[in-house]
Amino acid sequence: MGKKILLEHINVPGIETFDGYRKQGGYTAVEKALKTMTPEEVVEEVKKSGVRGRGGAGFPMGMKWSFLAKPEGVPRYLVCNADESEPGTFKDHYLMKHIPHLLIEGMIVSSFALGANKSFIYVRGELMYVIHILERAIEEAKAKGFLGKNILGSGYDLELIVQPGGGAYICGEETALLESLEGKRGNPRNKPPFPAVKGLYQSPTVVNNVESIATTPWIINNGGDAYAAVGIGRSTGTKLISASGHIKKPGVYEIELGVPVEEFIYSDEWCGGIRDGHYLKAVVAGGSSVPILPANLILKLANGEPRLMTYESLSDGGFQTGTMLGSGGFIVFDETACIVRNTWNFSRFYHHESCGQCSPCREGTGWMEKVLHRIEHGHGHMHDIDLLVDVARKIEGNTICPLGDAAAWPVASAIRHFREEFEWHVTHPQEATQPGAVYKGEMALV
């Protein structure tokens, strides 16, 4: 399962330059699309590919494109979401840094398909050095006639703008991102209207993740059907996985969707297994927001079959025994990791990053952080555990944007699968607050 669609040439020296990228077949998709295809035909290929949003939501990209309203005389926008901030996720950072022209080429093809003449790449402000890399790449592409007016004599004009964020996780939510791009606080918008109808500057807008846009050159060159032939079922193509935590080889890996989770963790091609002398305790498979699963459930479905790295297999069993592929932020925990401490850490994150618009999220994330803090620090009560479940339930589904759900799920799932560990913190406060102390009771280690 070594199929590479995005990272095939990542190690070629000079791939970050226009010439280096061009030598590996770069920008042929722009030539093909602009010279031989209509925008509708490009959309059709992307639809056929079945590629799903790689930022976390997994919504089919071609379908999202087909929702774009096209009123006469109103500009349309494509905005690339490069606000990568989900804990455990660093694939877009890697891709943009090493192979910036892949994103630029994808932006040209995608903008052409959508009829956008001014497109934006919104990059989290912390990645200012990556912004400079992208700006250099844009200058190069412009100098070679692949951006600007009348690209390759096709009559199609495109200007690409790289926009820095200012440090706010919430701007990864597409409507918050648009607010930010308009120079405002990143408060998510009520929907409808959806961005496809009223987005940037109240004009029809598509927002796509970096990795999603980067698939389009390959899809145009090889056809949507060829892309759909990679992967399994409705999980077509490849996915970048950001692997971190207690593994031998942390890093960004491109996998064909369908690789067994066990193989991904233990094969030398990818994570290389758990660090020496330790055992697998738990995994957060798709970025901090998705439910954490204990070792036995991440490796196998409830019915005992191997779990695969696909949208469907990871979510098999719902939240009782499953999780989500999410952004592909794959965080691995060995037996030295304290689930309570990690859950408190994640809760602090969501509390810090809540924009404050919706009461359930603004207040609830703070309550969860406080309650988890006291359990972790030896002042918890037994009823605090159910209190957390209750608060999480009351945030979930009751907010304008998915940050509320994202804050609730890690807490609810940690208690669902590791309740004994929370109870131990309450019943053994002295022991549990020693530096490096971890619950050592019965659990499934692999």
Binding residues for other proteins (CB under 8 A): 75, 84-90, 92-93, 118, 124-129, 132, 159, 161, 163-169, 180-186, 201, 242-246, 250-252, 288, 329, 331, 333, 337, 341-342, 345-346, 348-349, 352-353, 355
Q: Which two tokens stand for residue 76?
A: 């349309």
Q: How far is the CB of 161 from other proteins (least distance, A)?
A: 5
Torsions phi, psi of 383, nearest 5?
A: -70, -10
Nearer to other proteins, 31 or 405 (CB): 405
123 forms beta bridges with: 82, 164
Kindly list the distances between the CA atom of residue 45 and the CA atoms of 39, 105, 219, in Å, as whole numbers in the listed order.
10, 16, 7
Q: What is the DSSP string of 425-446?
A: HHH-HHHHTSTT----SS----
Q: How far is the CB of 204 from other proteins (least distance, A)?
A: 14
Return the number of the residue (213 or 355) whose C-beta is nearest other proteins. 355
Using the minimum distance from each CB to other proteins, give the nearer residue, 86 or 105: 86
**Cα–Cα distance list, 15 to 21, 23, 95, 242, 264 (Å):** 5, 9, 11, 21, 27
Rounded to the nearest whole angstrom, what is the least distance from the CB of residue 75 to other proteins in the complex?
Answer: 7
Minimum distance from residue 291 beta carbon to other proteins (Å):
14
Omega cis (within 30) before 193: yes
Instruction: Give the residue with the Cβ less far from other proteins, 15 or 138.
Output: 138
Query: Closest separation between CB of residue 40 and other proteins, Å?
Result: 26
In which residue are the tokens 């890690």 written? Answer: 410
Nearer to other proteins by Cβ, of 149 and 352: the residue is 352
Kindly state the smallest distance separating residue 338's Cβ from other proteins, in Å: 10
Least Å from the CB of residue 348 to other proteins? 8
Which H helix or E strand runs over 33? Answer: helix 28-36
- Which CB atom, from 42 or from 415, has the smaller least distance to other proteins? 415
Counting DSSP H helices and E strands in the chain, the numbers are: 20, 11
Distances (CA, A) of 33 to 67, 154, 216: 21, 10, 11
**Residue 377 neighbours by CB distance under 10 Å:** 15
Question: Minimum distance from CB of 177 to other proteins (Å)?
Answer: 12
Q: Residue 2 CB, nearest distance to other proteins (Å)?
A: 20
With contact defined as beta carbons under 8 Å apart, do 332 and 246 qualify?
A: yes
C-beta of 253 vs 311, nearer to other proteins? 253
The C-alpha atoms of residue 92 and residue 208 are separated, in whole angstroms, by 12
d(CA 320, CA 337): 22
Q: Tell the smallest beta-carbon distance from residue 244 to other proteins (Å).
A: 4
- The rounded distance, in Å, linking the Cα atoms of 298 and 308 is 9
- Residue 276, Cβ density class (10 Å: 0-12 exposed, 13-18 middle, ≥19 buried): exposed
Measured from the CB atom, the residue of 47 and 142 that comes closer to other proteins is: 142
CB closer to other proteins, 299 vs 332: 332
Amino acid at 238: T
- Of the pair 56, 245, the CB lying nearest other proteins is at 245
**3-state DSSP assignment of residue 40:** helix
Residue 60 CA to chain centroid, in angstroms? 14
